[in-house]
Amino acid sequence: MIENIGLVDDVFEVRIVDRLTFADHEEFRKVLKRISEGGFKSIVFDLQNLEFIDSAGLGMFLLAKDEADSRGQSVTLKGANGNIKKMLNVAQFDTLFKIC
């Protein structure tokens, strides 16, 4: 679930909590729209309180990265814990995103 979207300085931050699954794709489209509107240098997805992600959720991050790349913006995934961190490693997201 996308809990908070905010812009601080040149950073667009999106906090995702609980679960990110196909059921969240409509809400995530709003995030993609904000990315496409630009006006910032980087996007940060805060995953500290994310407990579950499926393949559709991973795909949403890839869509965000494609959109950001087309505008010269960077994407960071921060705060991933436990199973979320394992999923990002298995999907080799560290080769595509900055992860901290």
**Integer angstrom CA distances of residue 9 from 22, 29, 42, 64:** 31, 23, 10, 20
- Residues 5-25 have a mean pLDDT of 88
Q: Which residues of 51-70 are buried (b: 16+ CB within 10 A; e: fewer)?
A: eebeeebeebbeebbebbee
Q: In sequence order, what are the residues at sequence separation of 6 or more whose Cβ sits closer than 8 angstroms to the Cβ of residue 29?
A: none
- Residues 40-69 have a mean pLDDT of 94
Q: Which CATH number fits domain 2-99: 3.40.50.10490, 3.30.750.24, 3.40.190.10, 3.30.1490.20?
A: 3.30.750.24
Helix (H, G, I), strand (E, B) or coil at 63: helix
Residue 9 has pLDDT above 90, yes or no: no
pLDDT tens profile 36-51: 887 788 999 999 999 9
